[in-house]
Structure 1
Amino acid sequence: MRVLHFYKAYLPESMGGIEQVIYQLCQGSAAQGIDSHVLTLSAEDGAKDFALGSHQVHRANLDFYLASTGFSYSAFKRFRELAAEADIINYHFPWPFMDVVHFASSVRKPTVVTYHSDIVRQRRLLQLYKPVMNRFLGSVDRIIAASPNYMHTSEVLTRFASKTRVIPYGLDKSTYPIAQAERLNHWRQQFGPRFFLFVGVMRYYKGLHILLDALEGTHYPVVILGAGPLEQELRAQAQRLGLDHLHFVGRLGDEDKVALLQLCSAIVFPSHLRSEAFGISLLEGAMYGKPMISSEIGTGTSYINIHGETGLVVPPSNPPAFREAMRTLWDNPELAAQMGVRAQERYERVFSAQRMCEQTAALYQELLDAPHEQAEPLRMSSKP
C-alpha cells in the first residue's frame, strides 16, 4: 500500500508537532507494509526530493504567502503525479491551499484528513474560507481526530461526526537519541537537581506569559527550551518581573532535549487557547515519565494529562492556579514521582507510535475495501 501525505511544512525545514506526527506515521507504518511519501512546500532555492528514514519526501517550491497560507504553482502538478501512484491520500488540516489542490486535481483515490486543529485566530478570514472548508471536509472519506476531547468540543468535527474516527497521536521512543553522560552532567551542573521544563515554540497560544506571571515571587527553577516569534517579548517580561531563576536555552538538538526531559522534575505546559489541539511536547514528557501541569482548554492536552493522575490541570489564563500547581509538585516530590510513573504507563498504553500506526493502517485498509466517490471540482458561488 502506498500512502501520500500532503502538508505545508515538513522536516527538516520545520520542526513542529504536526511534522513530528507525520514523521512517526511514516516511520512506524513501514512495519504495516505501507510505502509512505510526503509532499510539502519548501522555501529553499532548488530544493530537491530526498529520503528520510524509511520514507520519501517530495518538495514543491513555496512561491508566496497569502493570509499566512503558503501557495505553490508547482504543487498542483507534483500532487497529481504523486496522487496517481498512491493508494491512499492523507491530507493534514488546516491548510486552505490544500483544499484547492484537492478539488483542482479531481482526486479519484480514497482520502483521509488528519484534523490537527480548528482555525482559531483568523476568524474573519475563516468566514470566507468556511464554504470551501466544509465542502472539502464533506468530500473526503474519513477524518481522524487525535482525541475524543477535541472531537467533542470542535464545532467543525461535530458536523462531520459520522465520518470522524479518534486515533491518538503516538511517539516511538526508540527514534529519540540516548542522552550521553556528558550531556546529562552538563545540564545538571547548569540547573541543579530539580527544575521545571517547557519545550516548544514561543507562539501566541503557548501561554508562556501566563507561566512567567505565575513565577513572580517564587524560587522554582524553570527552563524554556525553544525559540519563536515571542522570544524577545518574553525575555523582556522575565527581566521586568525579576525572574533570575528562569532560563532560556534556545533551540537545542535532540540529544540535549532528551537530556533535559530526563533530568527535569516536571513539565509545564501553559497553553491557553484551542490552537493547542494536542501537545506533542506534553506527550514527550509523559513518555519520559514526568508529571505535567497543563490548562483545561477542551483539547487533547487533557487527554494526555489526567488531573490528579498523571499531573495537574488548572483553569486557563490563571497564573495563581498555575503557581499553586507548581508549588504542589515542588513541595511533594513523592507525589510528583508517582504521577510521573502513571504518565509513562498511560503513554505506553494509549500513545505509542505502534498503536497509532496500526489503527491508521486498519483505517486505510477499510477504505481500500470500500467503494469511494470522486471529489467534484470546486465551483465558487456568490450564494451564502
Structure 2
Amino acid sequence: MRVLHFYKTYFPDSVGGIEQAIRQMCVGTARLGIASEVLSLSRDGRNAPLAVEGHTVQRVPLDFELASNAVSLRAIGRLARLAQDADVVHYHFPWPFMDVAHFAARTGKPAVVTYHSDIVRQQALLRLYRPLMHRFLGSVDAIVATSPNYLATSAVLGRYRDKTRVIAFGLDRGTYPEPDAVRMAQWRARVGPKFFLFVGVLRYYKGLHILLDAVAGTPYPVVIAGAGPIERELKAHAARLGLDNVTFAGALDEADKVALLQLCYAVAFPSHLRSEAFGISLLEGAMFGKPMISSEIGTGTSYINVHGESGLVVPPSDPAALRAALQALWDDPQMARAMGRRAEERYWRLFTSAQMAEGYAALYREVAARGAPVVLAPAAAG
C-alpha cells in the first residue's frame, strides 16, 4: 500500500512537532508494509526529491504566505500527479491552502485527515475560511483526533464524530540518537546538575513568557531549547526581568536535544492556548522518564501528563501557579523521581510509535477498501 502525506513543511526544511509526528508515521508504518511519500513546500526553492529514513520527500517551492498560510500553485499539479500512484492521501490540518489544493487536484483517492489543531489565532480569517473548511472536512473519508481530550473539547470535531477516531501520536525511542560522554559532559558543565527544560519551537502559544514570569525572583535554573519567531521578544522579556537563571540554548540537533532531555530534572511545558493540541516535546520528556509540568488547556497535553501521576498540571496563563508547581517538584526529589517513572510507564503503555503505526495502518486499509471499485461477478449463463 502507498500513502501520500501532504503538509506545508517537513524535514529537512523544518523541524517541529507536526514534522516529527509525520516522520514517526512514515517510519512506523513502513514496518507494516506501507510505503510513504511526503509532499511539502520549500522556502529555499529546492525541489529535488529526498530519501529520509526509508520514505521519499517531494518538495515544491513556496510562492508566498498570507496570514501564515503557505501557498504554492505548483503544489496542486504535483499533488494530482503523486496521488495517481497512492492508495490513500493523508492530509494534515490546519492549512487552508491544502483544502484548496485537495479540490483543485481532484485526486479521486480515499483521504484521511489528521486534525492537529483548531484554528485559534486567526479568528477574523476563520470566518471567511469556515465554509471551505467544513466542505473539506466533510469530503474526506476519515478524520483522526490525536487525543480523546481534543475530540471532547473541539467544536469543529464535534460535527464529525461519526467519522472521527482517536489515534494518539507515538514516538520510537530507537530513532533517537544516544549522545556520547563528551557531549553530555559539555552540557553538564554549561547548564549545571539540576534544571528545568523546555524544548520546542518558540511560538506565541507556547506560554514561555509565563514561564519567564514564573521563575523571576526564584533560584530555579531553566533551559529553553529551540528557536522561533518570538525568540528576540522572549530574550528581551528575560532581560527586563533580570533573569540570570534562564539559558536560551537555541536550535539544537537531535543529539544535543537528547543530552538535555537526559540531564534535566523535569520538563516545563507552559503552552497556554489550544494551538498546542498535543505536545510532541512533552511526550519526549515522558519517554525519557522525566516528571512534567503543563497547563490544562483541554488538549492532548493533559492526556500525556496526568496531574499527580506523571507530573503537575496547572491553570494556563498563571505564573503564580506555575511557580508553585516548579517549587513543589524542586523541593521533593522523591516525588519527582516517582512521577518520572510513571511518565515513562505511561509512554510505553499508550504512546509508542508501533501503536500509532498500527492504528494508522488499519485506518488506511479500511478507507482504501471502502474506496476500491466494486468488481461485479459475470452473470451466470442461462
Q: TM-score range by the shorter chain?
A: over 0.9
8 Å CA contact 1:117, 1:276 repeated in 2:
yes
**Cα deviation digits, residues 156-177 of structure 1 (max 9, x gap):** 0001111001000001111110
SS of residue matched to 1:44 = coil
Alignment match, 1:157:
157
**Cα deviation digits, residues 201-250 of structure 1 (max 9, x gap):** 11110000100110111101110101112112211221221211111111
Equivalent residues in 2 for 1:287-306, closer than 5 Å:
287-306=287-306
| Mapped partners of 1:309, 1:188: distance in 2 | 28
| Mapped partners of 1:337, 1:46: distance in 2 | 46
Alignment match, 2:240:
240
SS of residue matched to 1:129 = helix
What's the CA shift for 1:143?
0.2
8 Å CA contact 2:46, 2:60 repeated in 1:
no
Q: Match of 1:146, as an amino acid? A: T
SS of residue matched to 2:84 = helix
What's the CA shift for 1:105?
1.9
- Larger mean Cα displacement after TM superposition, 131-140 or 186-195: 186-195
Once superposed, which parts of structure 1, at least 4 consecutive aligned residues long, lie more than 3 Å away?
Answer: none
Equivalent residues in 2 for 1:42-191, closer than 5 Å:
42-191=42-191
8 Å CA contact 2:46, 2:59 repeated in 1:
no
What's the CA shift for 1:107?
2.6
Q: Match of 2:320, as an amino acid? A: P
Alignment match, 1:202:
202
- Where does structure 2 lack aligned partners over 5 or more consecutive residues? 374-382
Alignment match, 2:377:
none
Are residue 22 (structure 1) and residue 35 (structure 2) matched? Answer: no
Equivalent residues in 2 for 1:191-230, closer than 5 Å:
191-230=191-230
| Mapped partners of 1:59, 1:219: distance in 2 | 46
What's the CA shift for 1:93?
0.4
What's the CA shift for 1:47?
2.5
RMSD: 1.1
SS of residue matched to 1:56 = strand
- Where does structure 1 lack aligned partners over 5 or more consecutive residues? 374-384
SS of residue matched to 1:85 = coil
| Mapped partners of 1:341, 1:161: distance in 2 | 34
TM score, norm. by length of structure 2: 0.96
SS of residue matched to 2:354 = helix
| Mapped partners of 1:113, 1:21: distance in 2 | 13
What's the CA shift for 1:79?
0.6
What's the CA shift for 1:41?
0.8
What's the CA shift for 1:372?
7.2
What's the CA shift for 1:24?
0.6
Q: Match of 1:7, as an amino acid? A: Y
| Mapped partners of 2:294, 2:131: distance in 1 | 34
8 Å CA contact 1:48, 1:58 repeated in 2:
yes
Q: Match of 1:307, as an amino acid? A: H
Aligned length: 373
What's the CA shift for 1:74?
1.1
Alignment match, 1:275:
275
Alignment match, 1:380:
none
SS of residue matched to 1:40 = strand
TM score, norm. by length of structure 1: 0.96
Equivalent residues in 2 for 1:278-357, closer than 5 Å:
278-357=278-357
Q: Match of 1:357, as an amino acid? A: A
**Cα deviation digits, residues 127-172 of structure 1 (max 9, x gap):** 0000000000000000001000001100100011110010000011
| Mapped partners of 2:232, 2:8: distance in 1 | 27
Q: Match of 2:140, as an amino acid? A: V
| Mapped partners of 1:211, 1:278: distance in 2 | 19
